[in-house]
Amino acid sequence: MAVRDAYRSPDIQNIRIEDTEVVVTAKNEFRVAEVEVTVVDADGVVRENGPASLGWNGVDWHYKAKVLPAGGKIVVSVVNLAEVQTVKELLIT
């Protein structure tokens, strides 16, 4: 299973905003090691970033944002144990 994990990228199934919390649903063949969330404003300036915390269900990762600027975007980076990375963006409306 670990060998298959090394050749497959983690899957970011969903990114959603609940109030000021960014919730990322991520899965992998074996295990997701970490999720990092970056908040970028409309001018392309990074406003904040940091690690998300794994939720009780084992697939949702939570990041409490200080600010979610309209017209900006959320960039999510998911890494598995083999350090294979997947990146996905969500526009903030």
Beta bridge partners of 25: 14, 60
**Inter-residue contact 90 to 76 (CB < 8 Å):** yes
Domain count along the chain: 1
Report the CATH number that the domain containing residue 7 is assigned in CATH: 2.60.40.1220
Largest CA distance in the chain: 42
Task: Return per-residue pLDDT of the chain as tens, 93 residues.
Answer: 556 656 789 999 999 999 999 999 999 988 899 999 999 999 999 999 999 999 999 999 999 999 999 999 999 999 998 899 999 999 998
Q: Which helix (H) or strand (E) holds 89?
A: strand 85-91
Range of the domain at 47: 2-91
Give the predicted TM-score (pTM) of the model: 0.92
